[in-house]
Amino acid sequence: MGKFPVSMTSTTDLHSSSLPKGPERKVYPLSLVTEAVGQMLDKQAGGKLFWVRAEISHCSFSGKHAYLDLVEEKAGNRMAQLRGTIWSGRLEAIRRSLGREFDEVLKPGREIVFSAHMSFHAVYGFALNIQDIDLDVLLGEMERRRKATLAALRKEGAVGRNAQLRLAAVPQRVILIGSAGTAGFTDFMAHLDKNAWGYQVDIGVIDTAVQGQDATTGLVHALHKAGRVALRSRLDAVILLRGGGAKLDLDVFNDLTLCRTIAAMDVPVIVGVGHETDNTLAEVVAHTACKTPTAVADFIVERLVDFEGQVGREGRAIAAESRAQLSENKGWLGQCATFFQERPLALLRSLRGQLHVGANAVVRSTRSRLSDESAQVGQMRAGIAAHATSLPLSRRAVLVDVEQRIRQEATRQIRQHEQRMGGVKETLSLLGPEPTLRRGFSITRKDGKAVRRADELSPGDKIVTHLASGTVESTVDATSTRQTEN
């Protein structure tokens, strides 16, 4: 901004120190003061244009005019603030000059370089009447930031990091990040859904803004969300889309944080931003960059077509190789068929002859063995007949002696058992019921069964008591038991 001197000599009579006091002092109306300030500004500025750099903190449109709040800040401190005005005539000219960049230039947070006249209004005060905006300065500043960001990404090793990930030969499960309803988003979905081969792709959509002040934050959050999905389930790729627009519109895809997030993703990121002539840093750090959203759809479909074609080629190659192998081995197969047809018959004939020879040998051997065994049996029969008469005579005395010893042993054993039985009989006569009763004991029976314990009887039971001299019948009035020591 050009500097110019401001002289206050024309208004020295307005200074409080120079105003006369008392009844002679002169009081000026406010309009006269503002008129004097305006004349002074016109005299000093001379209607010249000044080039100014400032940031737009607020922008509004009223009727055909635009009103801007312009600020300059340094280290978080506001150094200056002025009102800027673009009147209708210049606003249309600026709109034509900026073209598609108009909406991106005139928005809060954008720093602009513009030419303006200084003006002072009695009611609205000092303002800058903006005449033109230098777009080249904005684009140059954007390119400078882009180069600085690219240098930082290269220094960090972010460029090419995501490209090292393996992209599935058949990407069938992807997440799409973009603004639903925009032209680029719609074109991609329609192009992929209506592909000529009828391929189906499972697409998860994360809807987020792709331009504006919050675009960068939204895109970074969407990428983090896609990364969390990839940790829980299989994900082939993440697709980042944005249709064509002004260069300043696409500047969000040059953001350092966004590019770092893309490079750090553990799943391949495919980017399709802008038109064919646009080139953003998001495309540089991505796994695959396509010129447009439609080109991304073509890329996926072509990858599916290539895979299917490769499978078809491999199948045809296998079929051709199989036919060649069959043709080469056809003669050998014929020989094998002949062999398998004739060889079993020859083998059966040979084995049949061997079987006959073996059977005849077995018959001859059996007959010879039977003849030999028959002769031996005859000899044994004659020997047994000869010994049958002589052997009993020689063994008769032995048998008589054995019989006598058996009888003696049997008599001895019988006498021992008789003695043993006599002892048992005497013991039983002493331990039997009758001797026991004679010694003063009795036997109590209930229903013919001996009673051994008091708890076997109940009051009212009929019992019979056997004594040595007879029996006694009685009725139970009560029972009692006593504990026995173990």
> What's the pLDDT band for 4 if we cut at 50, 70, 90?
very low
Answer yes or no: are the C-beta atoms of 428 and 438 closer than 8 Å: no
Q: How many CB atoms lie within 10 A of CB 192?
A: 22
Is the pLDDT score of 190 beyond 50?
yes
Answer yes or no: are the C-beta atoms of 42 and 28 closer than 8 Å: no
Q: What is the pLDDT of residue 16?
A: 45
Instruction: Please give the average per-residue pLDDT across 427-436, as a whole number.
Output: 75
Q: What is the pLDDT of residue 68?
A: 93
Q: What is the pLDDT of residue 6?
A: 32
> What's the pLDDT band for 394 if we cut at 50, 70, 90?
low
Q: What is the pLDDT of residue 320?
A: 77
Which of left, alpha, beta for 49 (phi over 0: left; psi -120 to 50: alpha)?
Answer: beta
Is the pLDDT score of 431 beyond 80?
no
Q: What would the pLDDT profile of 227-286 be if each residue is shown by its tens digit?
A: 999 999 999 999 999 987 666 778 889 999 999 999 999 999 999 997 766 689 999 999
Distance, in Å, from the CA atom of 139 to the CA atom of 27, rounded to the nearest integer, reads 53
Q: What would the pLDDT profile of 93-102 be if each residue is shown by its tens digit?
A: 888 888 877 8
Is the pLDDT score of 163 beyond 60?
yes
Q: What is the pLDDT of residue 296?
A: 94
Question: Beta strands 269-273 and 237-242: pairing type?
Answer: parallel
Q: Nearest 5°: CA angle at 465, between 461 and 468?
A: 175
Question: Between these two residues, 270 and 408, which has the higher pLDDT value?
Answer: 270
Mean pLDDT of the chain: 83
Answer yes or no: are the C-beta atoms of 454 and 480 closer than 8 Å: yes
Instruction: Report which residue type is found at 195.
Output: N
Is the pLDDT score of 391 beyond 70?
no
Instruction: Please give the average per-residue pLDDT across 402-427, as a whole number.
Output: 85
Give the rounded percent of residues in the chain with a pLDDT score beyond 90. Answer: 26
Q: What is the pLDDT of residue 266?
A: 95
Domains and CATH numbers, the chain: 9-133 (2.40.50.140), 157-308 (3.40.50.2300), 438-475 (no CATH)
For the ranges 124-133, 182-191, 339-348, the lowest mean pLDDT is seen at: 339-348
**DSSP states along 106-172:** SSTT-EEEEEEEEEEETTTEEEEEEEEE-HHHHHHHHHHHHHHHHHHHHHHT-TTTGGGSPPPSS--
Question: Between these two residues, 20 and 35, which has the higher pLDDT value?
Answer: 35
Question: Beta strands 50-62 and 65-74: pairing type?
Answer: antiparallel
* Beta carbons within 8 Å of 486's beta carbon, 6+ residues apart: none
Instruction: Please give the average per-residue pLDDT across 431-443, as a whole number.
Output: 78
Question: Between these two residues, 483 and 70, which has the higher pLDDT value?
Answer: 70
